[in-house]
Amino acid sequence: MSGISRRSNSGRIALVMAFITLWTGLICARLGQLQILRHQELADAARERLQITRTVQAPRGLIYDSQMDELATSVTVNTVVAEPKNIQDLRKAARSLAAILELEPRTLEKRLADPAKKSFVVVKRRIDPKAALQIQDLQLRGVYFLEESMRAYPNGQLASHVLGFVNLEGEPGAGLELQYDRTLRGAQGEMSFTVDARRRSFDGRVEKPPVQGHSLVLSLNKSIQYTVERELAAVMEAYRASSGTVIVMESDTGRILAMANHPTFDANSFNLAPAEYHKNRAVIDMFEPGSTFKVVVAAAALEEGLTHAHEVIDCQMGSIRIGGHSFRDHKPYGLLTYNQVLEFSSNVGAAKLGLRLGERRLYESLRRFGFGSKTGVDLPGEIVGLVRDWQKWSALSIGAISFGQEVGVTPMQMLVAANAVANGGYRVTPSVVDRIIDQEGDLVFSRSSEVTRIMRPETAATVRDAFEGVVIRGTGRRAALEGYRAAGKTGTAQKIVDGRYSKSKYLSSFIGFAPLPHPRITVLVQIDEPRGAIYGGEVAAPVFARIAQETLMKLKVAPDRIVAPPRAKPELAVAAEDFLPDATPLRPVPAEAWARFAARTEDNTITMPAGDTVIVPDFHGLAKRDVVERASVLGIRVQTSGSGAAVSQVPPAGTPVGPGEICYVSFARGENLPARLAPAPTPPKQQ
């Protein structure tokens, strides 16, 4: 029995030992699995419970002007955050924080009590240093600060439409901030905090440092930008206009030196201004340009060999009929030279040049100048404008388009088109960003000028000379500079209201360049709905003069001569009227032949009417000496150009004028003398 009992005990011991061995093996296997095979997984899980990770916003790259003055920068500010789980008295904490941060206590308490936000709540972003010190003095458990980067614009409103803005969440809303967001944004960093069992945080450390974005160096000149905004604000106030735009561009390269719109806003507090104020009208707004558009027709006709600088164009005493509609001038001009058509902004003269081009060639010229497509400027939101295919034009379209109706253009498109005259025939791609640099200041990208030749240098020079006449003798006399030769074109376009051209709302504009003969800058001034005066020569031209004068001085362009600008005559506003006073947008009508008529005196005899006025004689075909003698008898002052026989005059023959009025007479000789003036013919009877 004893032997059996011992064997039985031995079996039980062996069974127990086997069980213990198996159990130990299972435990070791499990430990091996946990410690070796699942080590990383469990370590990550533990770390996740013991640590919280927050992203750290990277400082955006800076934006500099061309002189490396800061226009947009990033500053470090404190953001108040809370862990509601660790706050002992939510109501008391909410009241204390709300009083300092100017928040509504009940709203803040509800946010802190939200079950979905017990671990982390942003109380208020970007608080001022004084508020941060007051919160620190409270010593609230579960309330702490995070350092964040905030966008700041040290110059307030300056260039706000170009720069744009960044909201409180770090998202761009307009301008270069939006256009170059990927470049400016940089790479976000990460910061971790260790927490205890009660989710109280401590031991914060940077896991991944944020990387600042690249910086932009602009073509804008801060000093010129200030001048532009000052002058734009002044004219807006003087004429109580609804809006305005000014752009200053370097003629040869297309670099934008200044760009301003009004109304404007402060990018530091963009949310306080209506969203309408954020629009960059220079590239977003579309308008009918009016007489500034004549640059396209005048240049295209020259380029196609359909006219020349000394041609005399019969402006038919200020009226022409195209497509069943009468187009008129603001004054009854007779014979005008090519230059005088532009100087006195003759709609009839421009329409005749358009008729010579024909629909297809005029359309192709518009496209060549860049209308109907984007200019390519590196700003967001640019539109293409409106240029209908020539096959969809009505019978009167060619006349209307010749002086800036039935087309929609942006200020930037209009500036680029006129600038081709200034720089010798090149269409440039305008740009605002010159180069991109990294955090160390090393070059990342540099922009090169993009140009396309659209006309011969001779064509550009001829139109440029004509535009100088606009400033010296024509509708843009108030655009003249002191010490610099300038050229340009006025525009006074009627606005379309309820499908008809308004008789009370106008768009006044001037586009000019200086100094001649090799312009350095091209400037567009556009004033929308001015009151008290409407003409481009009166409202916009003086703004051009002040801006161009200061800009050339700031660019250290030496004056070419010391000369005072021409004195503006009291009747300048009337001379600047270059729109159609009673025009109405019409539906397409069948084409009709246009009728020619002219009104001149029967001969060169001098008629002395009653009263203080005199009748201007017909000087055509006379020598300069004879013209001066006849004018002096009547007390009429004469301003002449050219030599040989008289080929055109303004005012036309038969116009009553007061003593001392100026009559502009152009002369030509040899091959430039019209055949009908050699010898001087008898003028045709009025039809």
**Active site residues per annotation:** 291
Nearest CA among 347, 294, 287 for reference residue 322: 347
Residue type, 546: R
Extract long-range pairs of 360-363: CB within 8 Å, 24+ residues apart: 360/390, 361/300, 361/304, 362/297, 362/300, 362/390, 362/398, 362/401, 362/402, 363/387, 363/389, 363/390, 363/393
Residue type, 249: M
**SS3 for 115-184, per residue?**
HHHCCCEEEEEEECHHHHHHHHHHCCCCEEEEEEEEEECCCCCCCHHHHCEECCCCCEEEHHHHHCHHHH
Cα separation, 431 vs 448, whole angstroms: 9
Computed over its alpha carbons, how large is the radius of gyration of the chain?
38
3-state DSSP helix/strand/coil percent for the chain, to nearest 5? 35, 25, 40
- By three-state DSSP, how is residue 88 classified? coil
Residue 296: DSSP 8-state: H
Structure tokens at 484: 């610099």
Task: Dump the DSSP string for 450-481.
Answer: -EEE-S-HHHHHHHHHHHHHHHHTSTTGGG--
Bridge pairing between strands 63-64 and 215-218? parallel
Cα separation, 47 vs 343, whole angstroms: 80
Nearest CA among 332, 345, 242 for reference residue 291: 345
* CA angle at 486 for the pair 481 and 492, rounded to the nearest 5°: 95
* CA angle at 153 for the pair 168 and 430, rounded to the nearest 5°: 105
Residue type, 106: R
522 class by beta-carbon count within 10 Å (0-12 exposed, 13-18 middle, 19+ buried): buried
Cα separation, 479 vs 568, whole angstroms: 10
Cα separation, 266 vs 270, whole angstroms: 6
- Residue 247 bridge partners (DSSP): 259, 524
